[in-house]
Amino acid sequence: MCGIVGYLGDKDVKNVLIEGLKTLEYRGYDSAGVSIFNAGKIEKVRAAGKLQSLIDKIGSTGFDGSLGIAHTRWATHGKPTERNAHPHTVNKVSLVHNGIIENYMELREELVACGSVMSSDTDTELVAHLISKEVDSGKDLYEAVLEVKKKITGAYAVLVMSEDQPEEIIGFKCGPPLIVGLGEGEVVFASDVQAIAPHTKKVFYLEDEDVVLARKDDLKIFRESKKIDPVWTELDWSKQVAEKSGYEHFMLKEIFEQPRAFAAAIEPHINIERQSVVLKDIDVSLLKDIDRIFIVACGTSYYAGMYGEYVIEKLAGVPVELEIASEFRYKEPFIPSSSLVVVISQSGETADTLAALRLAKEKGAKVLSLCNTKHSTIDREADFKLYMNSGVEVGVASTKAFISSLGVMTLLATQLSKVHDRVPKEDEQSIVRSLLGLPSVMESVLAYDKFFAKAADDLKKFKGFLYMGRGTNYPIALEGALKMKELAYKHAEGYAAGEMKHGPLALIDEEILIFMLCPQDHLYEKTLSNLEEAKARGGYIVSVGTKGDEQLKSLSEHFLALPKGDFITNPILETIPVQLVSYHVAKALGCDVDQPRNLAKSVTVE
Ligand code: F6R
């Protein structure tokens, strides 16, 4: 939530900052701004709306300074207006902030009582006032920052500069990510390596409470006020430039990348010759002692976790408790030390999931993370790590990371079943074979893109959407509804089909579209009866089922056929049509598919 960039060096500062913000816009896009030195003074330009408004406003303005800071915002305190946009400048001090200052009310009252005049409704401006006061009292910027850090509580990653020290930027953090990159005579700060990688591959991930004092040829990192020798990380990240490669939206590109993403997620853990699963980097003996698993995540990652819950319990017979991270962290969960806590997070920075990880470690449990972003905070803090390996996901709505997570969850379940002596060898081989075959099947399912592109004008007229499925299809129903809500702003619900008669059936009339996930699995007959009940009440049926299923076809307005699968593969393939329907309905309604309103991709606030 919010992206920050800072640059010191000989390149055109304005361009570096704007290009950096472009790669961070996924973190928030309701306003943006820069502060850059010009003729010895800090010059600030800000604009409400997407980054393009800032770019239009800056136009060809030139800046002669060699350092600056920039921000793209996801509003927490104060509306998304220009006055609330960052940077916030007070006297000689200008700063950008990602996070939330929790003691904001108290600080504001104190500052106002002492005569400070607020020019925004943000919590960030208070930090600028506090630092400015310290600077005015004679402290240098570093000392001022140390003083102010004692006064603020909450989550923050901050970059600050002062007219008194026109050669330096200070960065500090507690919670949200902040990375500093060191190049030849240049320093780049950012919330994400994507903004740094075009300039240098040598990076340092700040720990909480670290303070970085950066000058062009001198970079010092302090931990508890003592200078440390940083351990630099070399990015193994060839220029993964987020480009649409001819697709109209990143989301569509990422949907089409799913066969490759899925293969990249599973292949590191598969021995092709033996057709067996070996989870790399996980202490298999540890899995043997595990008698309970908690899966903790948010949003789409939570639904991937729900699929994991079903598959692990079925294959490995290990009890799984699935938890929403924001609930888990506050409900005083009972976590025996013999448990494994699995946290799933595409970004690896989601504040609630990170807090759940820390809580689990405090209670003595081992934590296994499944992230897409390597070196993210969750990845760094977990005891054992697995990766989605999907490549950079730019669309705010998660797609390829989800499908990769389903693949990795299946491998985890298979590995657990082996250590618990549950799955006969032949079954392991058949799971491996079907997983390896999925990418090419996915290619054929992607052909439904054309169907939804055509049908979208009709489908967009429905008042509401009900997604239904049973067993492992149920998490996909939930994911489908989430996608429809976030992209098309339509009311959508995901339901376990057997639960409909306990209330939600009352919702159904001719204005409701039922998206039924009904493959020919062991629950097929029961799901079909649920479909009949919905149809009898006037619902318009779009079904996804097994090729050749004439009965399902006859009950549906549209029938989308998938090859025969099982409880593992059906949900993975169903994911593609539930993504495509939301994408095309949202597009037909004129919604901003890649950057839906009110959302951001990396949720680093509670
Ligand atoms: C929905 C979506 C979100 C994220 C959620 C967790 O399309 O992307 O629901 O899944 O914010 O994010 P991560 O996985 O980064 O922890």
Element housing 410 (H / E)? helix 400-419
Give the start-to-end residue ranges of the domains of the chain.
3-244, 251-444, 448-588
Per DSSP, the chain holds a count of helices (H) and strands (E) of 19, 27
**In CATH, what is the architecture of 251-444?**
3-Layer(aba) Sandwich (3.40)
Q: How far is the CA of 212 from the centre of ligand 1 (A)?
A: 30
User: In the prediction, which pLDDT does 199 show?
Assistant: 96
Note the pLDDT tens digit of each residue in 395-429.
Answer: 999 999 999 999 999 999 999 999 988 888 779 99
Task: Evaluate if residue 319 carries a pLDDT over 60.
Answer: yes
Which atom of ligand 1 lies closest to the CA of 397?
Answer: 7
* Short-list 509, 463, 603, CA closest to 176: 603
Ligand 1 neighbours by CB, cut-off 6 Å: 298-301, 345-347, 350, 353, 397-398, 482, 486, 603
Ligand 1 binding pocket mutation candidate from 303, 347, 377, 400 (most atoms within 8 A of CB):
347
Which atom of ligand 1 lies closest to the CA of 299?
Answer: 9
User: In the prediction, which pLDDT does 242 show?
Assistant: 59
CATH number of 448-588: 3.40.50.10490
Nearest CA to ligand 1 atom 10: 300
Task: Evaluate if residue 239 carries a pLDDT over 80.
Answer: no
Q: Decide whether 3-244 matches 448-588 in CATH topology.
A: no
Note the pLDDT tens digit of each residue in 458-492.
Answer: 999 999 999 999 999 999 999 999 999 999 999 99
Range 182-212 burial, b when 16+ CB lie within 10 A, else e: beeebbbbbbbbbbbbebbbbbbbbeeebbb
Predicted TM-score of the model (pTM):
0.83
Mean pLDDT, residues 428-449 taken together:
93
Per-residue confidence band for 237, with pLDDT thresholds at 50, 70 and 90: low
Q: How far is the CA of 302 from the centre of ligand 1 (A)?
A: 8
Which atom of ligand 1 lies closest to the CA of 602?
Answer: 15
Which atom of ligand 1 lies closest to the CA of 603?
Answer: 11
Note the pLDDT tens digit of each residue in 328-359.
Answer: 988 989 999 899 999 999 999 999 999 999 99
Candidate list 201, 253, 400, 601, residue with the active-site label: 601
User: In the prediction, which pLDDT does 595 show?
Assistant: 87
> What rounded mean pLDDT belongs to the chain?
93
Q: Would residue 174 show up in a list of annotated catalytic residues for this protein?
A: no
Task: Evaluate if residue 225 carries a pLDDT over 90.
Answer: no
Task: Evaluate if residue 143 carries a pLDDT over 60.
Answer: yes
Q: How far is the CA of 28 from the centre of ligand 1 (A)?
A: 14
Q: State whether residue 490 is helix, strand or coil.
A: coil
Computed over its alpha carbons, how large is the radius of gyration of the chain?
25
Task: Evaluate if residue 281 carries a pLDDT over 90.
Answer: no
User: In the prediction, which pLDDT does 29 show?
Assistant: 86
Q: Would residue 601 show up in a list of annotated catalytic residues for this protein?
A: yes
Which atom of ligand 1 lies closest to the CA of 483?
Answer: 7
**Who contacts 456 (Cβ-Cβ below 8 Å, separation ≥6)?**
584, 585, 587, 588
C-alpha 473/C-alpha 318 separation (Å) is 20
User: In the prediction, which pLDDT does 123 show?
Assistant: 93
Which letter does DSSP use for residue 96 in this model?
E
Ligand 1 binding pocket mutation candidate from 250, 295, 298 (most atoms within 8 A of CB):
298
Residue 268 buriedness (CB in 10 A; 0-12 / 13-18 / 19+) = middle
Of the two residues 303 and 603, the one the predictor is more confident about is 303
Nearest CA to ligand 1 atom 11: 299
CATH number of 3-244: 3.60.20.10
Ligand 1 binding pocket mutation candidate from 409, 603, 604, 605 (most atoms within 8 A of CB):
603
Q: How far is the CA of 484 from the centre of ligand 1 (A)?
A: 14
Task: Evaluate if residue 268 carries a pLDDT over 80.
Answer: yes
Q: How far is the CA of 587 from the centre of ligand 1 (A)?
A: 21
Ligand 1 binding pocket mutation candidate from 295, 301, 476 (most atoms within 8 A of CB):
301
Q: How far is the CA of 401 from the centre of ligand 1 (A)?
A: 9
Note the pLDDT tens digit of each residue in 539-591.
Answer: 899 999 999 999 999 999 999 999 999 999 999 999 999 999 999 999 999 99
Nearest CA to ligand 1 atom 7: 397
Nearest CA to ligand 1 atom 13: 345
Task: Look up residue 477 and give its amino acid.
Answer: A
**Who contacts 594 (Cβ-Cβ below 8 Å, separation ≥6)?**
249, 250, 251, 394, 395, 396
Q: How far is the CA of 263 from the centre of ligand 1 (A)?
A: 21
Per-residue confidence band for 288, with pLDDT thresholds at 50, 70 and 90: confident
User: In the prediction, which pLDDT does 328 show?
Assistant: 94
Question: Which tokens hold the place of 20?
Answer: 């950096």
Per-residue confidence band for 238, with pLDDT thresholds at 50, 70 and 90: low
Which atom of ligand 1 lies closest to the CA of 401?
Answer: 14
Q: How far is the CA of 266 from the centre of ligand 1 (A)?
A: 21
Candidate list 2, 174, 371, 591, residue with the active-site label: 2
Per-residue confidence band for 505, with pLDDT thresholds at 50, 70 and 90: confident
Mean pLDDT, residues 532-540 taken together:
89
C-alpha 209/C-alpha 124 separation (Å) is 18
Note the pLDDT tens digit of each residue in 177-189.
Answer: 899 999 999 999 9
C-alpha 561/C-alpha 340 separation (Å) is 38
Task: Evaluate if residue 455 carries a pLDDT over 60.
Answer: yes
Q: How far is the CA of 602 from the centre of ligand 1 (A)?
A: 7
Which atom of ligand 1 lies closest to the CA of 350?
Answer: 16
Convert 172-221 into a string of H (helix), E (strand) and C (coil).
Answer: EEECCCCEEEEECCEEEEECCHHHCCCCCCEEEECCCCCEEEEECCEEEE
Q: How far is the CA of 372 from the centre of ligand 1 (A)?
A: 11
C-alpha 264/C-alpha 374 separation (Å) is 14
- Percentage above 70 pLDDT, the chain: 99
The residue behind tokens 């240049």 is 186
Asked if residue 191 lies in contact with residue 1, where contact means CB atoms within 8 angstroms, the answer is no
Mean pLDDT, residues 37-50 taken together:
95
Strand partners, 222: 211, 227
Ligand 1 binding pocket mutation candidate from 328, 345, 346, 377 (most atoms within 8 A of CB):
346
Strand partners, 44: 35
Task: Evaluate if residue 321 carries a pLDDT over 90.
Answer: yes
Which atom of ligand 1 lies closest to the CA of 298?
Answer: 6
Task: Evaluate if residue 244 carries a pLDDT over 80.
Answer: no
User: In the prediction, which pLDDT does 606 show?
Assistant: 73
- What secondary structure does DSSP assign to 17-58, as a single string? HHHHHHHHGGG--SEEEEEEEETTEEEEEEEESSHHHHHHHH
Beta strands 233-234 and 202-205, pairing class? antiparallel
Nearest CA to ligand 1 atom 16: 345
Nearest CA to ligand 1 atom 5: 299
User: In the prediction, which pLDDT does 235 show?
Assistant: 85
